[in-house]
């Protein structure tokens, strides 16, 4: 079966430990932090809202609506701004001034994003937005939530990931990004006959960078995960 795993009964899949890019990154950075974030519930008492997370989540919500699969044309700027105001998350900002500054920056980012998309001769063929994919292995279930998946004219499936904290991007950044590796691996598990690539989009700069892992790279990456 696509996305299945030999030796892992379906009844056992739900009981597998879930690993995601954020979980893996946290463990690699500090196993103790992983324990208090994911294993011991008492650690959650000390988690605080962060302005950067609120800002990024807001933009992701608006872009999710913006790129809904099957949507025709670019929505009017007024509609985008209305969605932005409705989606705004205020948690984590230290002052009203800081929040107002961030709100203005987000507005400028979305206005530029919409304008650049309108200038494109052909709109991207978006298949999925905020798509969750998983694949079971004998000891864990690999999970990833993809911001967007486009289908290119040549049939390549392109995973698009938005970055609010990074401006300058290179293909090497995509190649070395753990999450983008996980997303490409999951896509290949579900669509083994389709070429796959990944693109990082820096929302602040509008810069894009793309890299597609070869079959050998995906095999090596999967071995490292295991």
Question: Residue 29 has which token pair?
Answer: 């950075």
Percent of the chain scoring above 70 in pLDDT: 92
Task: Please name which of 163, 141, 162, 159 lies closest in space to residue 150, comparing C-alpha atoms.
Answer: 159
What would you measure as the largest C-alpha separation in the chain, in angstroms?
A: 56
Tokens standing for residue 215: 């079959």
**Between residues 153 and 48, which one has the greater pLDDT?**
153
- Neighbouring CB atoms inside 10 A of 123's CB total 14
With beta carbons less than 8 A apart as the criterion, state whether 179 and 167 touch.
Answer: no
Average of per-residue pLDDT across 83-108: 95
| Whether the Cβ atoms of residue 58 and residue 88 lie closer than 8 Å to each other | yes
Q: What rounded mean pLDDT belongs to the chain? A: 89
**Mean pLDDT within 140-163:** 96
Q: How far apart are CA 136 and CA 138, in angstroms?
A: 7
Please say if the pLDDT value at position 6 is more than 50. no
- Which comes out higher in pLDDT, residue 139 or 46? 139
pLDDT tens for each residue of 195-214 = 999 999 999 998 999 999 99
Rounded-to-integer distance, Cα 201 and Cα 10, Å: 36
CA quadruple 148, 151, 153, 154: dihedral positive or negative?
positive
Is the predicted pLDDT of residue 10 greater than 90, yes or no?
no
pLDDT at 14 over 90: no
Lowest mean pLDDT among 41-45, 103-107, 131-135, 147-151: 41-45
Q: Which phi and psi angles does 185 have, rounded to 5°?
A: -65, -45
pTM of the model: 0.87
Summarize the confidence of residues 1-26 as an average pLDDT. 69
Angle at 89 between CA 78 and CA 44, to 5 degrees: 160
The helix/strand/coil state of 48 is coil
**Tokens in use for 124?**
């991207």
Average pLDDT score over residue span 165-181: 91
Between CA 132 and CA 144 the distance in angstroms is 6
Number of Cβ within 10 Å of residue 219's Cβ equals 13
Phi then psi for residue 162, to 5 deg, are -90, 140
Give the confidence band of 1 by pLDDT, cuts at 50, 70, 90: very low
How far apart, in Å, do the first and last CA atoms of the chain sit?
A: 20
- pLDDT of the residue at 167: 72
Give me the sign of the Cα torsion angle 28, 31, 37, 38.
positive
């Amino acid at each position: 079966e696509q996305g299945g795993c030999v030796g892992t009964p379906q009844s056992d899949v739900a009981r597998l430990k879930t690993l995601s890019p954020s979980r893996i990154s946290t463990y690699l950075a500090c196993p103790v932090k992983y324990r208090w974030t994911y294993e011991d519930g008492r650690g959650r008492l000390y988690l605080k809202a962060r302005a950067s997370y609120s800002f990024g989540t807001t933009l992701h919500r608006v872009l999710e609506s913006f790129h809904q699969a099957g949507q025709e044309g670019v929505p009017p700027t007024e509609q985008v701004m209305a969605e932005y105001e409705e989606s705004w998350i205020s948690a984590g900002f230290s002052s009203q001034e800081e929040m107002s500054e961030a709100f203005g920056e987000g507005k400028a980012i979305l206005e530029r994003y919409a304008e650049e998309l309108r200038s494109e001769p052909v709109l991207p063929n978006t298949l999925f937005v905020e798509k969750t994919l998983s694949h079971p292995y004998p000891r864990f279930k690999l999970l990833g939530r993809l911001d967007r998946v486009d289908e290119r004219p040549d049939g390549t499936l392109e995973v698009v990931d938005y970055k609010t904290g990074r401006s300058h991007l290179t293909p090497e950044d995509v190649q070395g990004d753990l999450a983008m590796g996980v997303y490409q691996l999951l896509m290949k598990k579900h669509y083994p006959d389709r070429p796959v690539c990944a693109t990082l989009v820096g929302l602040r700069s509008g810069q894009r960078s793309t890299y597609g892992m070869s079959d050998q790279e995906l095999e090596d990456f999967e071995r490292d995960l295991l």
